Structure 1
Amino acid sequence: MQLQTLVDLTPHNTFGLPAVARAMVHIDSDAAIPRLLDHPLYGPMPKWVLGGGSNVIFTGDPAELVLKVAIKGRRLLPTQADAWIVEVGAGESWHDLVRWTIANGRPGLENLALIPGTVGAAPVQNIGAYGVSLQERFDALDGIDLTTGQPFTLTGDQCRFGYRDSIFKHSLAGRCVITRVRLRLPRPWRPVLDYPDLQRRQRESGSGRPDPQQVFDWVCALRRAKLPDPATVGNAGSFFKNPVVTADRFAQLLRRHPAAVGYRQPDGRVKLAAGWLIETCGWRGRTMGRVGVYAHQALVLVNQGGATGIEVLALARAIQESVKGRFGITLEIEPTVV
């Protein structure tokens, strides 16, 4: 356990927003958490868990004690008849994990390649991309209660996964630390190529049956073409959730806007492409002060240099009002606002 005070959080969030933590603790093992809870000064403080900082917007300095999870480790657990099981420390890089599983003959995460952030943050957000969500590849996770110091294990049902949502955003918010995640990768492996962009890549490659590495490479290429690299352009990836509407509401939208983009869901509803809504309102490539909308993907807001979280939210609200006024649809911000 490493303790630091007055920590600049700018390099700890991918949007590059300024904030200072009064104190930050690096959690590198399960044993560090009980030691922290027993600390006479920091033990009683409210706590806030920081993963890779890829899904957070700082609007000021956090009042809580910041816990930076850095628990490492990757293990291949015994193979089951219908699945490969892998166990990963919460502080591991998600993208590095995806590459590692493919290299070790455990495919199934390739559609989730190049998503920034840590493994421990993935269940919180229930990350998803190109037709696959974490909950479809999830087995269980381990964590430690920040009040009692007791370890616990949660199954997928207990995590209450929803679209970019989980129990960790609600009743367990700020109350626990995820230490390890176990993933269940279905076998035999089958490629998930439901998205038109992946189908187009398959046609262009002439590959009738792509292997996991090919799908991984296609996903990486698509994401790099559409999304800015946080190492060079500050951003938090997709800034708004794709709104889900009834089939009737989508039919009404299509009558007025035949080019509207939507994806039918198993329950009959339709997930709208938030990027299309924003672009249709004329926001793609526009700037507002030191914040802008990415020229290649309207769903992404970017730091033009020196932006603050307040400026980011001002642009986000302007976009929300614009989309609401034109389509009657409310966009929900995806990152956590601190």
Structure 2
Amino acid sequence: MSAVPYSLKSYNTFQIDHSCAELIHAESKAKLISTCLELYRGDQDFLVLGGGSNIVLTEDYLGTVVHVETKGVEFSEDDEYHYLSVAAGENWHELVVTTLSMSISGLENLALIPGTVGAAPIQNIGAYGVELMQLCDWVEYLDLRTGGLKRLTAQECLFKYRDSIFKGDLLTCAVITGVGLKLSKQWQPVISYGPLRAFEKGSVTAKQIFDCICNMRNTKLPNPDVLGNAGSFFKNPIVSRAVFDSLVENHPGIVGYPMDDDSIKLAAGWLIDRAGLKCLKVGDAAVHEQQALVLVNMGQARGKDVTQLARQVIRAVAGRYGIELEAEPRIIGANGERELADD
């Protein structure tokens, strides 16, 4: 292994300037498989990285980073559905744009979510009323223990809010190689969030929803190419109806969205904003002035600045509302993933 460190600044959307001991570009599925198996069987530390939009690097990584750059989208259809078979290294937003250009609807609510297709199932990406689990047909992964490829159905992926089997039982032994999507030809628009409510269900088009969401995201969320960030840093906490009713009594105006099981999803950005934390800074890491759910790199932030800031936000929200926020991004230290509280 080379002793020359490789900068990872351009491989993470926080633009944090840490390095790794070795960087391997996996441009093909065969190379991705052979590289990961060689490292795994050699008992070497390695990190599989897609778009780098869901990580915070807190130290130089002492192992090998395998950058997934596989490409390819295959389309098929029957009378009821469009089927997509997508390589893990494909850019998610570009996939959304491609489907719309082919008059295939269903992905428009997930526009401008950063990252790659292979990363999408891991935390069951979602936005504006749509989650990947509703559109996923299957996920193919390399089982590092056996060296073989396996395919799970959407049900077998154990999807939940920002969660899946790939963050649980398969956390250390799976490398996603491809994702299958199943999009109904009987498209039904999802317009239950924010400005989307202004549309008429019977006349709105997928392109109008796409344009509206892109405009919202570009207005509310900082461009990571300009201001480093990992998108929404905290999960929206889910509480019982009873807890929500109690919060409403003490904090009128608190924002919550009913879930199918009668629980309530709270707006974490509202909690952070109303706790007076907008623009809070640690070093060059800050709570974004326009969207409190986003932590940003103002220029020269270290990963440890970001994690310290995140812990301050969590403590402040817990102290004010009794609600414990959870971070979405993975925290990566010198030897791999670690807990936010341990950094």
State the partner residue of 1:306.
300
CA contact (8 A) 1:90 1:181 kept: yes
Shift of residue 47, structure 1, vs aligned partner: 2.5
Asked whether 1:122 is paired with 2:120, we answer: yes
SS in 2 for 1:31: helix
Deviates more, 1:282-291 or 1:305-314: 282-291
Shift of residue 187, structure 1, vs aligned partner: 2.1
Unaligned runs of 5+ in 2: 333-343
CA contact (8 A) 1:26 1:69 kept: yes
Supply the distance in 2 between the matched residues of 1:132 and 1:244 (Cα, whole angstroms): 17
Supply the distance in 2 between the matched residues of 1:4 and 1:24 (Cα, whole angstroms): 11
Supply the distance in 2 between the matched residues of 1:37 and 1:124 (Cα, whole angstroms): 18
Supply the distance in 2 between the matched residues of 1:264 and 1:241 (Cα, whole angstroms): 16
Supply the distance in 1 between the matched residues of 2:83 and 2:125 (Cα, whole angstroms): 19
Q: Deviations over 1:16-63 (max 9, x none)?
A: 112211112222222214532575898431322111000000111223
Supply the distance in 2 between the matched residues of 1:194 and 1:111 (Cα, whole angstroms): 11
State the partner residue of 1:67.
66
Superposed, 1:26-45 pairs within 5 Å as 26-36=25-35, 39=38, 43-45=42-44
- Alpha carbons of structure 1 residues 289 and 41: separation in structure 2 relative to 1, 3 Å: closer
Superposed, 1:1-338 pairs within 5 Å as 6-36=5-35, 39=38, 43-77=42-76, 79-200=77-198, 202=199, 209-338=203-332
- Alpha carbons of structure 1 residues 182 and 282: separation in structure 2 relative to 1, 3 Å: same
Unaligned runs of 5+ in 1: none
Q: Which amino acid aligns with 1:36?
A: T
Supply the distance in 1 between the matched residues of 2:7 and 2:116 (Cα, whole angstroms): 20
Supply the distance in 2 between the matched residues of 1:23 and 1:80 (Cα, whole angstroms): 45
CA contact (8 A) 1:37 1:43 kept: no
CA contact (8 A) 1:5 1:24 kept: no
SS in 1 for 2:140: strand
CA contact (8 A) 1:37 1:149 kept: no
Supply the distance in 1 between the matched residues of 2:37 and 2:269 (Cα, whole angstroms): 47
Supply the distance in 2 between the matched residues of 1:118 and 1:35 (Cα, whole angstroms): 20
Q: Deviations over 1:141-177 (max 9, x none)?
A: 2121223321111111221111111111122123222
CA contact (8 A) 1:17 1:306 kept: yes
Supply the distance in 2 between the matched residues of 1:4 and 1:261 (Cα, whole angstroms): 51
Q: Percent identity?
A: 44
Supply the distance in 2 between the matched residues of 1:91 and 1:136 (Cα, whole angstroms): 21
Q: How many residues align?
A: 331
- Alpha carbons of structure 1 residues 155 and 40: separation in structure 2 relative to 1, 3 Å: closer
Q: Which amino acid aligns with 1:7?
A: Y
CA RMSD of aligned residues (A): 1.9
- Alpha carbons of structure 1 residues 143 and 5: separation in structure 2 relative to 1, 3 Å: farther
CA contact (8 A) 2:14 2:229 kept: yes
Supply the distance in 2 between the matched residues of 1:114 and 1:41 (Cα, whole angstroms): 33
Q: Which amino acid aligns with 1:314?
A: Q
TM-score scaled by length of structure 2: 0.92
CA contact (8 A) 2:159 2:165 kept: yes
TM-score scaled by length of structure 1: 0.93
- Alpha carbons of structure 1 residues 294 and 38: separation in structure 2 relative to 1, 3 Å: closer
- Alpha carbons of structure 1 residues 198 and 254: separation in structure 2 relative to 1, 3 Å: same
